A and B are shown apart, each in its own frame.
Chain A
Amino acid sequence: MSLIELQDVSKIYRLGSQEIPALTGVSLTFEAGEFAVLAGPSGSGKTTALNLIGCLDHPTSGHVIVNGLDLGTASKKALADFRLQNIGFIFQSYNLIPVLTAAENAEFTLMLQKVPKPERRAKVRKLFVDLGIDGLENRRPADLSGGQQQRVAIARAMAADPHVILADEPTANLDSHTAEELLELMRRLNREQATTFIFSSHDDRVIAQARRVIHLQDGCLADDLTISK
C-alpha cells in the first residue's frame, strides 16, 4: 500500500455563487521515502494538493488516503490527531510562534503528543545540532534570520518523526544561497533518515533538486516525472 493516494480528487472552492475549481480529477500516489515536488505556476493547485495531503482540507470529490486513513470519513478531532502523529508542515513564512523560543517552537508538537519534558528536550537538542542551529535554542523567532527560522520550522516539523513532511514554497522567502543550503539539508534528511518530503515550488532551481517532479496546470495533472540522480 502506498503512503499517500489521491484517487480522482477534485476540489472546488465556492466564492459566493461562483465556483472555482482548484483541482480536477487528480490521481497520484506517493511512496515512503520520496523527495517530490509539486511544480507549477501560481493558481495551478499546488497548495490545494498539499492541504489535502496534509489533512487540512477535504476533497469535493474523490478520495485522499494517507497512511491508510480515508480523510473523507474522519472527524475534525480525528484529523487533528492524525496530523499530530503523521504529518509535519513547513510553511513559506516559517510561521513560528513568536512568544516561544526556538527550542519551545520545535518542542511544541512533542508537547502535544505528551512526550515527557526531558525526552523532548534531548530530541530537540539533537535536531538543532543536526540542522546546524545549536546555540539558538533560547532565541525568540524575531531574533533569528529567515534561514534560521526556516531551520527551526524544519526542526518543528521533524521533531515528532512524522511519516511525511509537507513544505509549501519553503524557500520562497529566502535568498538563493540560503535556499540552496536548506534544500541540501532537506535532501540530506531524506537520504539519511528516509523522511518523505513533498514540497511545492515554482522555482526551477528548487525543482531541479527533486527526485520526482509533478507538474500541475490549472488544477490538472500535467506531468509526473521521476528523475534518476
Chain B
Amino acid sequence: MLFTLAFRNLWRNRRRTLLTLSAMVASAALLILALGVFSGMFRDMLASATEQYYGHLVLAKTEYHERRDMFAHLDEEVASRYITAEDTEIIGISPRLRSFGLISLAETSQPVELLGVIPEREKQVTSLQTKLIAGNYPSEAVNNGALIGQGLARKLKVSTGDEMVFVTQAADGSIGNDLLIITGIFATGDSRHDNNLVLAPLGWAQKIMVLPGRIHEVAMTLADPMLAALTADRLNPRLPDDVEILDWGDLLPEMREVIAAYDVSRMIIVSILYMATGLGILNTFFMSVMERTREFGILMAQGMRPWTIRGLVLLETCLLGGIALAIGLTCGAVMTLYMQQVGIDLAGYITPVTYAGGTILPRLHAVFEAGNFYVPAGMLLLVSLIAGFLPANRAARLDPVQAVREV
C-alpha cells in the first residue's frame, strides 16, 4: 500500500508533477542524444585515423613507428607466426611495405608516402575503397596500379589511367623507380591522406625497393577498436624482443587523450545538467511535503515510524525518477537512432577539420554506446534520491503535535 500511496501522491498536483517530469525527461533524452552525437564525432575521428591509414593495431620492429627506418623490415609471413585463428577479435590483417619518395608527371613532382599493400587484404583494414571518387581500387590483376588521393591528383593534374613515375631509395643503395598507372582516386576529407598517400601493390613496391618478401608492418583491425590496448597487451608477450604491437592509442596519443578528456567532460556535462534538474525535483518535493505537513502528522499519530515517512517521500522521488528514466531513455534512444540512421549533413556550411590525428567530418551523426545510456540513467536516479532526501528528512523530523495542528 505504501507504493500505491506514493504513486497516487505523485499525481495530487498533476500539473506540477508533469512539469517536473517533462524537465527530467527532456534532460535525460537530450543528454543521451548529445552524448551519442559526441561519441559519433569521436568515432568518426578515430575511424578517419584508423580506418583510412593505421588500423587498430600495428605489428612492426621496435621503434619503427618513430624512425620509419627502411631497414627495419620483417618477413612477409610474420603475422601468421604470432596471430592465430583463436585471436577472433582480429578481423583483418594487412602486410605493408612503406616507402617515401617523389611522384612525377611531366614537370610536376610531389613528395609522397607510398604503401605497398595486398589490395584484398588492405580492404579488411582500411576503408579507402569506400572513399573512391573516380576509378577503381587497385587489384592483383594490374601489378603497377595505384590509388592516390584527391589532393595529390589535383596537384599533379592527373586522372585515372594516367601514368606517373615514382622515385625512391632502394634497400641496396640504388635509386628505385618505375611507372605507376592511376586506377583510382579517393577523397577522405583528411588533407594528410588526400595530399600525400599512394597505395600500390606490395609486389611492385618490394621490387623497386629491392626488398623481396619483406614488409615494414602488419596493420590489423579489430571488431571493437576500444579493445585495442587490451589486445596489444595480450599479444605482445608472444613476440620476440625486437618486434612489438602498438595500438591506435600508442600511434595516436593525442587521440587517446581527446577520448579520455571526453569521458571526463561527459561526466561534467551530466553533472551540471542534472544539478539543475535536481533543483527542480527538490523544489517540487519540498512544496509537496510542505503541503502535506498535517497529513504526515496524522500518519505519525497512527504509528508510522519516521523512517517509513522518509521512505515514503524517497519512494515518491524514485518513482518520478523511474518514470522519467523510462520515457527519457526511450526518447533518447529514438532520437539517437534517427541521428544514427539519418544524421545532419553540414558539408554545405563547414569543411572537415583535422584534430588530434583524426578528422572531424562536416556532419552530425550519433552512435549507440552503452555508457551514453547508463551514465545519464544512473545519474538521474542518483539525483532523484539526493533531491528527495532533504524533503524526506524534513517530513521525517516533523513534530506530530505541530504537524497535526498545521492548516
Q: List the A residue with the shortest CB-CB distance to B403.
A: A56
Residue B192 CB within 8 A of the other chain: no
Say which residue of A51, A80, A104 sits within 8 Å of B303 (CB atoms): A80
Residue of B2, B4, B301, B306 with most partner-chain A CB within 10 A: B301
Say which residue of B8, B295, B306, B401 sits within 8 Å of A56 (CB atoms): B401
The proximity string for A residues 125-151 relative to B, scoring 1 for CB distances below 8 Å and 0 otherwise, is: 000000000000000000000000000
B185-212 contacts to A, CB under 8 A, are none
Contact A107 B9 (CB under 8 A): no
A71-123 contacts to B, CB under 8 A, are 76-77, 80-85, 87, 89, 91, 95, 97-100, 104, 107-109, 111-113
Residue B404 CB within 8 A of the other chain: yes
Which residues of chain B come closer than 8 Å to A156, judged between CB atoms? 302
| Size class of the contact patch on chain B | 20 to 34
Compute how far the CA of A112 lies from the CA of B305 in the bound complex, rounded to whole angstroms.
9
Contact A104 B305 (CB under 8 A): no
Contact B404 A85 (CB under 8 A): no
Beyond the given A100-B5, A109-B302, please list 17 additional residue pairs across the A-B interface where CB-CB is below 8 A. Answer: A51-B401, A54-B301, A80-B304, A81-B303, A81-B305, A82-B303, A84-B302, A89-B302, A91-B404, A95-B295, A97-B5, A98-B12, A99-B9, A100-B1, A108-B1, A112-B302, A112-B303
Which residues of chain B come closer than 8 Å to A51, judged between CB atoms? 401
Which residues of chain A come closer than 8 Å to B305, judged between CB atoms? 77, 80-81
Compute how far the CA of A41 lies from the CA of B400 in the bound complex, rounded to whole angstroms.
23
Q: List the A residue with the shortest CB-CB distance to B397.
A: A76
| Shortest Cβ gap from B204 to chain A (Å) | 81
Contact A84 B303 (CB under 8 A): yes
With A100-B5, A104-B4, A112-B308 already in contact, the answer to whether A56 and B400 are too (CB < 8 A) is yes
Q: List the B residue with the shortest CB-CB distance to A94.
A: B298
Total interface residues on A, CB under 8 Å, equals 28
Say which residue of A76, A83, A84, A99 sits within 8 Å of B306 (CB atoms): A76
| Shortest Cβ gap from A113 to chain B (Å) | 8
Which residues of chain B come closer than 8 Å to A218, judged between CB atoms? none
Which residues of chain B come closer than 8 Å to A76, judged between CB atoms? 306
The proximity string for B residues 299-327 relative to A, scoring 1 for CB distances below 8 Å and 0 otherwise, is: 11111111110000000000000000000
Contact B303 A107 (CB under 8 A): no
Contact B302 A108 (CB under 8 A): yes
Residue of B295, B303, B305 with most partner-chain A CB within 10 A: B303
Say which residue of B5, B294, B307 sits within 8 Å of A95 (CB atoms): B294
With A99-B12, A104-B1 already in contact, the answer to whether A56 and B404 are too (CB < 8 A) is yes
Which residues of chain B come closer than 8 Å to A34, judged between CB atoms? none
Contact B401 A80 (CB under 8 A): no
The proximity string for A residues 185-228 relative to B, scoring 1 for CB distances below 8 Å and 0 otherwise, is: 00000000000000000000000000000000000000000000
Which residues of chain B come closer than 8 Å to A87, judged between CB atoms? 303
Q: List the B residue with the shortest CB-CB distance to A156.
A: B302
| Shortest Cβ gap from A14 to chain B (Å) | 13
Q: List the B residue with the shortest CB-CB distance to A120.
A: B1
Which residues of chain A come closer than 8 Å to B4, judged between CB atoms? 100, 104
Residue A57 CB within 8 A of the other chain: yes
Residue of B302, B304, B307, B404 with most partner-chain A CB within 10 A: B302
Q: List the A residue with the shortest CB-CB distance to B7.
A: A99
Compute how far the CA of A83 lies from the CA of B306 in the bound complex, rounded to whole angstroms.
13
Compute how far the CA of A80 lies from the CA of B295 in the bound complex, rounded to whole angstroms.
15
Compute how far the CA of A54 lies from the CA of B298 in the bound complex, rounded to whole angstroms.
12
| Shortest Cβ gap from B101 to chain A (Å) | 82
Which residues of chain B come closer than 8 Å to A109, judged between CB atoms? 302-303
| Shortest Cβ gap from B16 to chain A (Å) | 15
